[in-house]
Structure 1
């Protein structure tokens, strides 16, 4: 499994390269015989990669530079196109929470057709999500993952069993030409995650990676969904192991909130329900926050106290330094928890718009309670209020899921860098009043990719068995009942801040 994880890391570093770094890739299997590698799994961000008719990178930038052939997942260039698509109210939108996001692929494709028609659109041969690019690059097979297509491309898997590209939708949004050649440009063959891709590693890819030709390659997943796959099977005593009782948080630059159910659950403002997008045979609903780790970094880096702190950090992470300040402040004020330090400081965290459950990319961030202070303590308090605000965002998503039918969620599971941050995990537990499971496995996303590789190699009968066998152990952070009521009050303020933003817009627009 370790080799599979490392392999995934190395290949991801080569994303987009026509000729991956051979030395970097070969280093993966140093001191490991290639025949010991039984399967390969890939994950990547849901970014849009474009290639010409000969399979070479094709620019998606006004610069015309073909090395710039990827639109990053968080790119919001297609906000206008998303608004126009949503105004059409096509039935396909009910499978993305009622509104399509500019972070999804069809708005971006509409943008490319409008703005780079001659440079890009007319020359394009293939459009792929990065996870599908990796399997194509490794096997020369153009199949696509149902995870990518259902979640980001509006490929339909409906409650009545229909599986198709909805031609009326693509015609309505002006992309009807994609139907040519049985939809080849965006995917003619759709496979569930973990199923074998073609004949495995091609001769070229095997040589570049230092592996054996024909090594099985699993159908890929979006990185967050691979994280959900690696996370959802984590076993902790006293926490219900059933998949449908767990809300998985995959934390990074953004955060994705994954919940699965046996039946399709339609939740306004939350993406899905998606069939076979994470756990085969189950429906997935995906909430999320567009900026979480990135927001914390922004708050810290833009504060005037940060340069001075960095001069004396040594090997300590700045968030640990700020946490130490918070604990000292709480001790001086005889507070039972650092949480109580922010009773007069509140943050609305949508500095990059709201993905869920409001689904409004135009929302802005708000900070209420600032003073003239610009010292280390003021930064620590603002950092804490931001972390708490992200936790209120999780609660907002959780309440929306529960109101729509997810009545049995009993725990949250967290992976990513923020899972190592006690301030963050404690806030999530206290705000949502649920135990938080943090896996011992340090890379749940790569574990998910390893599960895909193991399934492609037929090491397990199915992904559900692989999840349970490879999920590992973890630790649990339980709610502090003395803090829960405090957060209930701050959450009420949190919701008021949204109402106020709408009121201000109404006043200014009148």
Structure 2
């Protein structure tokens, strides 16, 4: 048997999995990674801590399997910025004047870090044509605003940094010693390839305009001058040191990396089910974790205001990718639950028996039956949520937006928490509908929703998406789509398949279908109107208060 390893570095943990050549999961392991959050909106990690975690989980999944049977390994990770000096040592991303920070160990600016808001606003004000490829506005979550922030605020760090990696590319560098970068990371988060002639490469005019012309030195070495397509073999495979650390054979092929959400899209876009079109361009993939990414591909470049892209071959070769997203989904649901007074008593009651979200879903079903409602969704007729507690990524591209709740009472019991939980899920789904509307208005014809990640295991979350969007939702039988996507990259690097597309088809497998129920569709149509009204109200409130200051 031939096996492939997929490694996924998420926001709060590292995972690895062993797959066979048909995409069947054999073994999985996970390990937490540390997040530093000294001040609001500053989120940092340690690349050394991350690599230690990678070593641990990979060793766990390959233990007991002959090294010669493991033919390839692939990596995915969050689009976080890693800072290293000329010797490959960490360089701090922290402000020295903040107590307990400024140490070099904290050398990763996490994707959800919002420190670069002013820099993103400056870049957007300049109005360069590069912005056409990020939905009209660059996001403060992307790497270029963060790099500009570093230049302005951490001069010592700026002088010491000689290598800047997207986290997925740091992992392949750590594995092989190669400084090559992934087309996926550079195109999606670094503005690579955003040129009027359509050619790949850095847009020199853009970097000159925003004050980062220094990055052109040494043929762009600091940010990358060797770019490879996802799945392309990196260097000579695992170095001797990395092979020892991971428990694998030296020279094991390493696939060029991919962003974690894009790995999820890659791992599930080829999933099949009866009576569902296999056309990749008719599918919208939802990769749900701390945040949610919405992946759609097309045969031609499609420019959608507020939606990132189009990015050529960034996920599926020869197809253009558009990427929407919500900055806080799983994190928002957890937040709403954790701050509620009833959460602790529920956890004590169900300890070890079930997940608290399952308990709340069961409670909602009981509440709906007691009220003779045809569907649990009707319970929130007077409770409405705007879910942008961490700003809006798509389709409004406005990080200044905040969360809103209408319909609060003095109640703090279990039923009240269940209602808040339901209203939050509905609001997140309306956010997906908002993104889907923008894609459809720009020419996409989406027929099926695919979903993976932690929230795909929540039946209520999945069913509400089907009902609100009035589309079938396909859940891959192999639930670990993100890890499968990175393993597919390893299989391609090993030459197991002639192309990434062939590997997708061979390893994606089948899935189960959740169909929309007409019983609550019109209810959601009305509630969606309230959802949009909340946005208008928030903007009006801000305008009124700005005029008062």
**Which category of TM-score, normalised to the shorter sequence, fits these structures?**
over 0.9
Q: Which residue number corresponds to residue 20 of structure 2?
A: none
Q: Which residue number corresponds to residue 5 of structure 1?
A: 6
Is 1:419 the counterpart of 2:456 in the alignment? Answer: yes
Deviation at 1:5, TM superposition (A): 3.3
| Structure 1 residues 344-372: Cα deviation after superposition (integer angstroms, max 9, x where no partner) | 11100000000000000000111011111
Is 1:169 the counterpart of 2:206 in the alignment? Answer: yes
Q: Which residue number corresponds to residue 60 of structure 2?
A: 27
> What pairs with 1:93-242 in structure 2 (closer than 5 Å)?
93-118=131-156, 120-158=157-195, 160-242=197-279
Is 1:360 the counterpart of 2:417 in the alignment? Answer: no
Greater strand fraction, Structure 1 or Structure 2: 2
Q: Which residue number corresponds to residue 66 of structure 1?
A: 104
Deviation at 1:207, TM superposition (A): 1.4
- 1:468 and 1:494 map into 2 onto residues whose CA distance is 38
- 1:322 and 1:495 map into 2 onto residues whose CA distance is 26
CA, structure 1 residues 255+297, in 2 after alignment: closer, same or farther (shift >3 Å)? same
Secondary structure at 1:64 match in 2:
coil
Is 1:54 the counterpart of 2:74 in the alignment? Answer: no
Unaligned runs of 5+ in 2: 10-14, 18-29, 34-45, 96-100
Q: TM-score, normalised by structure 2?
A: 0.90
Conserved 8 A contact 2:130-2:195: no
Is 1:473 the counterpart of 2:495 in the alignment? Answer: no
CA, structure 1 residues 165+275, in 2 after alignment: closer, same or farther (shift >3 Å)? same
Is 1:399 the counterpart of 2:399 in the alignment? Answer: no
Conserved 8 A contact 1:200-1:217: yes
- 1:308 and 1:267 map into 2 onto residues whose CA distance is 46
Is 1:438 the counterpart of 2:475 in the alignment? Answer: yes
Deviation at 1:183, TM superposition (A): 0.3
Is 1:381 the counterpart of 2:423 in the alignment? Answer: no
Root-mean-square deviation (CA), in Å?
Answer: 1.6
| Structure 1 residues 250-289: Cα deviation after superposition (integer angstroms, max 9, x where no partner) | 0000000000001000000000001111001010000000
Secondary structure at 2:512 match in 1:
strand
Is 1:504 the counterpart of 2:541 in the alignment? Answer: yes
- 1:6 and 1:138 map into 2 onto residues whose CA distance is 12
| Structure 1 residues 482-508: Cα deviation after superposition (integer angstroms, max 9, x where no partner) | 111110000011011101111111111
| Structure 1 residues 440-467: Cα deviation after superposition (integer angstroms, max 9, x where no partner) | 1121000000110011111111111111
> What pairs with 1:240-279 in structure 2 (closer than 5 Å)?
240-279=277-316
- 2:403 and 2:341 map into 1 onto residues whose CA distance is 19
- 2:118 and 2:273 map into 1 onto residues whose CA distance is 45
- 2:459 and 2:94 map into 1 onto residues whose CA distance is 41
Conserved 8 A contact 2:452-2:480: yes
- 2:293 and 2:8 map into 1 onto residues whose CA distance is 24
Moved more, 355-364 or 309-318: 309-318
CA, structure 1 residues 429+319, in 2 after alignment: closer, same or farther (shift >3 Å)? same
CA, structure 1 residues 469+146, in 2 after alignment: closer, same or farther (shift >3 Å)? same
Deviation at 1:303, TM superposition (A): 0.6
Conserved 8 A contact 1:287-1:355: yes
Moved more, 203-212 or 264-273: 203-212
- 1:172 and 1:100 map into 2 onto residues whose CA distance is 15
Moved more, 206-215 or 122-131: 206-215
- 1:77 and 1:158 map into 2 onto residues whose CA distance is 27
- 2:106 and 2:432 map into 1 onto residues whose CA distance is 34
Q: Which residue number corresponds to residue 16 of structure 1?
A: 47
Secondary structure at 2:163 match in 1:
strand
> What pairs with 1:305-384 in structure 2 (closer than 5 Å)?
305-315=342-352, 316-384=354-422
Secondary structure at 2:411 match in 1:
coil
Moved more, 249-258 or 26-35: 26-35
Unaligned runs of 5+ in 1: none
Secondary structure at 1:60 match in 2:
coil
> What pairs with 1:276-295 in structure 2 (closer than 5 Å)?
276-295=313-332
| Structure 1 residues 84-142: Cα deviation after superposition (integer angstroms, max 9, x where no partner) | 11000000110000000000000000110111012x10000100011000000000000
- 2:239 and 2:200 map into 1 onto residues whose CA distance is 29
- 1:164 and 1:135 map into 2 onto residues whose CA distance is 21
Conserved 8 A contact 1:3-1:29: no
- 2:141 and 2:433 map into 1 onto residues whose CA distance is 22
How many pairs were matched up? 508
Is 1:44 the counterpart of 2:77 in the alignment? Answer: yes
Deviation at 1:161, TM superposition (A): 3.3
Deviation at 1:213, TM superposition (A): 1.3
Q: Which residue number corresponds to residue 25 of structure 2?
A: none
- 1:376 and 1:41 map into 2 onto residues whose CA distance is 44
Q: TM-score, normalised by structure 1?
A: 0.97
